[in-house]
Amino acid sequence: QQQVKQSPQSLIVQKGGISIINCAYENTAFDYFPWYQQFPGKGPALLIAIRPDVSEKKEGRFTISFNKSAKQFSLHIMDSQPGDSATYFCAASRSEYGNKLVFGAGTILRVKS
Amino acid sequence: NAGVTQTPKFRVLKTGQSMTLLCAQDMNHEYMYWYRQDPGMGLRLIHYSVGEGTTAKGEVPDGYNVSRLKKQNFLLGLESAAPSQTSVYFCASCRDYSTDTQYFGPGTRLTVL
């Protein structure tokens, strides 16, 4: 049972373009939605996160858009750069004992220079 | 600060052998986690701990055991390794209930023949 569904599996974007990755969740009790970035051979690192009380959060070139009624959230990378080439994971958790994250399957992003 | 460290980085086992993976964190975090990462499946939670001396099951606990005898260490054991346990294992830590950010280690690549 996949509680967080992520798409696309892979994405190729030209340098300077916009990368968009989408996620959908099932459990309405989730109240924390982070995006993690992972480079080859490294562990995931938190990129940006949002809570459902806001519809959008922006940090530099990275923006999360959140649609509570549709149970969907997305990551937008503006002015994509070759250094952004990595695997991106969305995740979700509920504020309870343990802060347990449920991850999407991941999106491999390649930014062509 | 070293953050979250994992040993070993690589390991090859034969079916039926046992081993222990060590995770250490120097951030005085209360919560610690073990995940496995498989292609196309994202990261899945194996076991977690909300404090020294506590452990709990995650999404995929079968075939694994854990111990948290010291706050800074979280051990993952495989008693009788199976080829299905071939994976990359990540440890993570989180300060406590007041924050959601999980910090990941660099991973251990395990192959079971």
| Short-list B74, B39, B77, B41, CA closest to B61 | B77
β B10-13/B73-78 pair status: unpaired
Residue A1 clears pLDDT 60, i.e. is over it: no
CB contact under 8 A, B31 and A105: no
Q: Please, which residues 13-72 of chain B have a Cβ atom closer than 8 Å to chain A?
A: 31, 33, 40-45, 48, 50, 56, 58-59
What's the average model confidence in pLDDT over B89-97?
92
* pLDDT at position A2: 64
pLDDT higher than 60, residue B51: yes
Say if A15 is an interface residue toward chain B (CB within 8 Å). no
For residue B25, name the pLDDT band (cuts at 50, 70, 90).
Answer: very high
Dist. CA B113–CA B110, nearest whole Å: 10
Q: CA of A12, closest CA in chain B: separation in Å?
A: 17
Beta strands (DSSP E) in B38-86 are: 43-49, 56-57, 64-67, 73-78
* pLDDT at A95 exceeding the cut of 90: no
Residue B48 to residue A98, Cβ atoms within 8 A? yes
